[in-house]
Structure 1
Amino acid sequence: MKSPKFDYVRAGSVADAMTAYAEADGDAVFVSGGHSVVPSLALRLQAPALMIDLSAIEALSGIDLRDGWLRIGAMTRHAQAMTDPLIATHAPLFAAAAPFVAHPAIRNRGTLGGSLAHADPASEFPAAALAMRAELEIASAQGIRRVPADDFFVDIYETAIEPGEVLQAIHVPCAVAGQMVAFDEIARRRGDYAMVGAAVQAVSAGEGLQDVSIAMFSVGNRPVRAASAQVALTGRALDAPAIAAAQAALADDLDPPDDPQFPASMRLHLARVLLGRVLAKLETAA
């Protein structure tokens, strides 16, 4: 199936992009890497009159440190997340998640901002952003605002971005001493959507873990913070009893969907297995 006819404009700035959107009376779609938008057009899930290309906007590029935060431009490619030294140091869950995303051809073109704005509940980068307690920089005609990841992901394919707004950058708190991360997923084949995934960040402090942050994905309509599992680990040594307590606590955190091919009970079981695996990786890194 081919997409319906549409006009195309390549915006030179965020202001230009928002102006083009307004002039199209909202009958427009923004595109960065295109790996989410183009398939939806081909399937006639979207039929905008105008496509606005954001790829030439300089303000959406660049990776740098600012006032205790790592600012990552929304146009940063998946492949960059695997190789950039600042991301490796200060946003390591993006680096850890990137190899699990699809295949090299897609990683070379797809963008972090596009993945986060698309908000696929089975996607790796939204969960990584949630676990790192990232904040998302959104531009609108009224100015710029930053939204914590916990408030950014609203529902399946729905975020805090309002019509006509543009995701400009991702802000991740700079790494602190003792910080550890681990990431993994269970999929039928490498590059497939995850059946369940987990991103974990914590700080090793003395005899126990602090600042534990766990995000699970492909377990609901958005990435899910495993708050009870976090509590089960906080202040404890990362040993077998602590890991078992965190696994058991997932029953309070997750309410996975039920379907005949993949029952909710199976998804919860896989989530527990995977969390144990990821925490064992974290223990090795400690």
Structure 2
Amino acid sequence: MYNFEMTRPSTIADAAKALKEEDAQALGGGQTLIPTLKQRLAIPSTLVSLTGIGEMNGVCMSDANEVCVGGATSHAVVAREASAYPGLAGLASHIGDPAVRNRGTVGGSLANNDPSACYPAAALASGASIITNTREIAADDYFQGMFTTALEDGEIITEVRFPVPEKSHYEKFVQPASRFALVGVMVAKYADGVRVAVTGASEEGVFRWTEAEAALSANFSADALPDLSISGDDMISDLHGSGEYRAHLVKVMTGRAVASAA
């Protein structure tokens, strides 16, 4: 590591002010940022910890039947307290290991937008709203490619609002060393249709499988999927699996998610 300053604001306003300083970097649970600092891939002079901001912690229900999760809320808390949305709680309960789940935060995961992270699939499949200190961003507009989001410099994810579906499930094919998703699929059935979001597979990051959405909106059953196919051309290909293999897993994981949800 190297020398840096650390500040722990207690309000969103103070955090936003601190992040305006030169070379300041927001710090959630640190599960991605700390390894990055160790490798000198980022060298901020000041870390602004967000975990001490009370208004960014916790899970609640809105009048619009949304599970509202504070940006600094840990995965473990979501797993325990988001019972109104079982698919989301189940997803959170299988992120990483206990140490990661007790330190990692929802806001940190979405801000980083790792191509194999689980929460991007949850947000996109849910049609979630990402609330920042300055605006509200629809999930369909938020994710803009691998490690790329609509966030501007110094913008803080203060809350994420997940509309509760009628049925849902997240199915993950785990990369055993990292516990990230080699391929993960979130399926959420709403009154106006089904949303299917895929993580871990594409070179562009999380994406919606629209063909599966159309088929499942007409028939919410794994029987709706056999005639569908997805190309491996734009999928990640590495030592863990080829693009064709990941494309195959997308279909398999979608079928398993639907079967579990139904």
Q: CA deviation at 1:261?
A: 5.6
Instruction: Confirm or deny: 8 A CA contact 1:30 1:54 kept in the other structure.
Output: yes
Instruction: Confirm or deny: 8 A CA contact 2:229 2:251 kept in the other structure.
Output: no
Closer, same or farther: CA 40–214 of 1 in aligned 2, 3 Å: same
Where does 1:38-117 land on structure 2 (aligned, <5 Å)? 38-68=34-64, 69-84=66-81, 87-89=82-84, 91-117=85-111
1:279 counterpart = 2:258: yes
Q: Once superposed, what is the RMSD of the aligned Cα atoms?
A: 2.0
Closer, same or farther: CA 103–191 of 1 in aligned 2, 3 Å: farther
Correspondent of 1:256 among 221, 229, 235: 235
Structure 1: 5+ residue runs without aligned partners?
none
Q: CA deviation at 1:93?
A: 2.6
Instruction: Confirm or deny: 8 A CA contact 2:222 2:255 kept in the other structure.
Output: no
Which SS does the other structure have where 2:230 is aligned? helix
Correspondent of 2:142 among 152, 167, 171: 152
Deviations for 1:52-75, whole angstroms, at most 9, x for unmatched residues? Answer: 111111221232233303321111
Deviations for 1:109-161, whole angstroms, at most 9, x for unmatched residues? Answer: 1111111111111011110111111100011xxxx311011111112222111
- Matched AA of 2:83: A
Closer, same or farther: CA 83–124 of 1 in aligned 2, 3 Å: same
Query: What is the TM-score of this pair, normalised by structure 1?
Result: 0.84
Where does 1:24-35 land on structure 2 (aligned, <5 Å)? 24-25=21-22, 27-35=23-31
Could you tell me how far apart the structure 1 residues matched to 2:86 and 2:120 are? 14
Where does 1:158-197 land on structure 2 (aligned, <5 Å)? 158-175=148-165, 179-189=166-176, 192-197=179-184
Instruction: Confirm or deny: 8 A CA contact 2:126 2:164 kept in the other structure.
Output: no
Correspondent of 1:230 among 202, 213, 237: 213
* Paired position in structure 2 for 1:211: 193
Which SS does the other structure have where 1:30 is aligned? strand
Instruction: Confirm or deny: 8 A CA contact 2:220 2:258 kept in the other structure.
Output: no
Query: What is the TM-score of this pair, normalised by structure 2?
Result: 0.92
Structure 1 ranges of 4+ moved more than 3 A: 249-252, 258-261
Which SS does the other structure have where 1:59 is aligned? helix
Which SS does the other structure have where 1:159 is aligned? coil
* Paired position in structure 1 for 2:118: 124
Instruction: Confirm or deny: 8 A CA contact 1:185 1:195 kept in the other structure.
Output: yes
Q: CA deviation at 1:237?
A: 5.1
Could you tell me how far apart the structure 1 residues matched to 2:88 and 2:56 are? 17
Instruction: Confirm or deny: 8 A CA contact 2:58 2:77 kept in the other structure.
Output: no
Closer, same or farther: CA 239–171 of 1 in aligned 2, 3 Å: closer
- Which shifted more, 58-67 or 31-40? 58-67
Closer, same or farther: CA 11–189 of 1 in aligned 2, 3 Å: same
Aligned pair count reads 260
Could you tell me how far apart the structure 2 residues matched to 1:259 and 1:30 are? 31
Closer, same or farther: CA 181–237 of 1 in aligned 2, 3 Å: closer
Could you tell me how far apart the structure 2 residues matched to 1:137 and 1:244 are? 38
Q: CA deviation at 1:257?
A: 2.6
Deviations for 1:160-192, whole angstroms, at most 9, x for unmatched residues? Answer: 1111111100011244xxx11111111242862
Instruction: Confirm or deny: 8 A CA contact 2:231 2:244 kept in the other structure.
Output: no
Could you tell me how far apart the structure 1 residues matched to 2:74 and 2:168 are? 21
Could you tell me how far apart the structure 1 residues matched to 2:88 and 2:220 are? 26
Instruction: Confirm or deny: 8 A CA contact 2:28 2:51 kept in the other structure.
Output: yes
Q: CA deviation at 1:94?
A: 2.0
Comparing both structures, which one devotes a greater share of its residues to helix? 1
**Aligned-residue identity in percent:** 30
- Matched AA of 1:280: A
